[in-house]
Amino acid sequence: MSPFLPDSLTGIASDFHDATNRNLLERWQPLCDWLDTRLRDGFDPACKVNAVRIGARALAHDRRGRMLSGVNLASLDPLNISTHPRVLAATQDAAARFGIHSGGSAAMMGLTSLVVTLEQRMATFLSMRDAVVFPTGADALHALFRTLVQPGDHIILDSLAAPGLRDLAEIATRKVHLAHHLSPASVLEHLEKIRAQEPDAGILVMMEAMSYADCQSPDLVTLREMCRLHEATLLVDTALDLGSTGPGGRGVLGRQGVLGEVDLVSGTFARAFASNGGFLACNHPALRAAIVQSSLIHWSSSAISPLQAAAILAALDLIDGMEGDWRRRCLLRNCRAFRQGLTKQGYNVLGEPGSAIPVLLGAAAVARRMTAEVLYNGAVVNLLEYPIVPQGGARWILHPMADHSAEDVDTFLALTERARRFAA
């Protein structure tokens, strides 16, 4: 009998990888079978396909073609800017002027005047000297790690940092240290130990401005002072908060009063800025030259298109203006309403109000049942399981929007109350 017996409610992905098979592709067939079994039984919410423009209500289908519709808490558009008339008009103008393709890498002939303007605007927005734009946020971090970090250097990460961040760090160096979650004391312990043993080594301290795992924020003021004292470089990733939270959309950096005062800022445009893309911002004059000369991504990947740059610039105008303030207030109101209702129902809601709501569900089997109950009865959500989150810590990451109505909140809470009773 095969050791790989697909069961839609039990097991984790790593259970179904046949590492003993010498065929590199056949090793993954048990996983494919398991995921197909989960999908057949309605317990695989991954890879949903959107059928309409992003909004507070969704119309989509799962990988098997079953229709999904209802309150949309799965898409990344917290301020509902991606379909704003000004954003759409900006992309149409850019298409008429530049066409739709960048035509090359940023290190060659792929830049347009729109991208140059975007880099200048992002530097100003973040109170930094310079900013460099990339096709994705992951590309920005990959270029940074490969450019700045040598094999003998050290990287200090939060223990609950998004798995992709840890993967990128481990590509750059084996000397990756995990500090206790949101603990400046743990970071300090690592800094002191590294400096005592390797006084000349480079050290990069990387922190998420808002943790992907639980939507909490580190003490950036304390971390900045620690890094200065120990001659370490502080990188803050703003993927979850920039644009959608904080004064003027400046996120946690603005809220904690450290705009322009950390060494490096990274982020993505894909959440609040209406388009794919990523960036690095820095106050040091050498960053751009180092990236251009050292990053294969900057040479081999096509630069972001003029349509993307135009959309981001239009979104930035909205985010940085009065309408952005109003949309952030709407988002915060809706986030609090979802959080309060879920907490009242007995759910373990993590973190602080913002552009995402982590709801801890626990064991994978329970989480899969609850997700199916919500997903096929009137709301679209995302389920995170191990290894994206710790084992036994399956959770929803809900994405509230500025355009959600009170009726949307009530509809979703009725579904979650039903799902909670169903799981019990």
CATH of the domain at 214: 3.40.640.10
The C-alpha angle 345, 67, 270, rounded to 5 degrees, equals: 75
Sign of CA dihedral 81, 82, 86, 90: positive
What predicted TM-score, i.e. pTM, was given to this entire model? 0.94
C-alpha to C-alpha distance for 308 and 106, rounded to whole angstroms: 14
C-alpha to C-alpha distance for 356 and 413, rounded to whole angstroms: 16
**Collapsed DSSP state (helix, strand, coil) of residue 77:** coil
Pair (273, 171) in one structural domain: yes
Cα–Cα separations (whole angstroms), residue 192 to 139, 173, 197: 31, 19, 9
Q: Which residues pair with 33 in a beta bridge?
A: none
Pair (286, 216) in one structural domain: yes
**Collapsed DSSP state (helix, strand, coil) of residue 116:** helix
Q: Does 2 map to a domain?
A: no
**Closest CA relative to residue 400, chosen from 330, 343, 326, 349:** 330
Sign of CA dihedral 387, 393, 394, 399: negative
Pair (95, 195) in one structural domain: yes
Q: Which residues pair with 268 in a beta bridge?
A: 278
Pair (209, 303) in one structural domain: yes
Range of the domain at 188: 85-320
Q: Encoding tokens for residue 182?
A: 């949101």
Pair (47, 108) in one structural domain: no
Pair (223, 274) in one structural domain: yes
The helix (run of H) or strand (run of E) holding residue 363 is: none
CA neighbours within 13 Å on the CB side: how many for 245? Answer: 25
Pair (194, 115) in one structural domain: yes
C-beta atoms surrounding 292 within 10 Å: 15
Q: Does 64 map to a domain?
A: yes
Residue-wise pLDDT tens for the chain (424 aa)? Answer: 344 445 788 888 889 999 999 999 999 999 999 999 999 999 999 999 999 999 999 999 999 999 999 999 999 999 999 999 999 999 999 999 999 999 999 889 999 999 999 999 999 999 999 999 999 999 999 999 999 999 999 999 999 998 889 999 999 999 999 999 999 999 999 999 999 999 999 999 999 999 988 999 999 999 999 999 999 999 999 999 999 999 999 999 999 999 999 999 999 999 999 999 999 999 999 999 998 888 888 888 999 999 999 999 999 999 999 999 999 999 999 999 999 999 999 999 999 999 999 999 999 999 999 999 999 999 999 999 988 888 899 999 999 999 999 999 999 999 999 999 887 7
Q: Encoding tokens for residue 198?
A: 């390797």
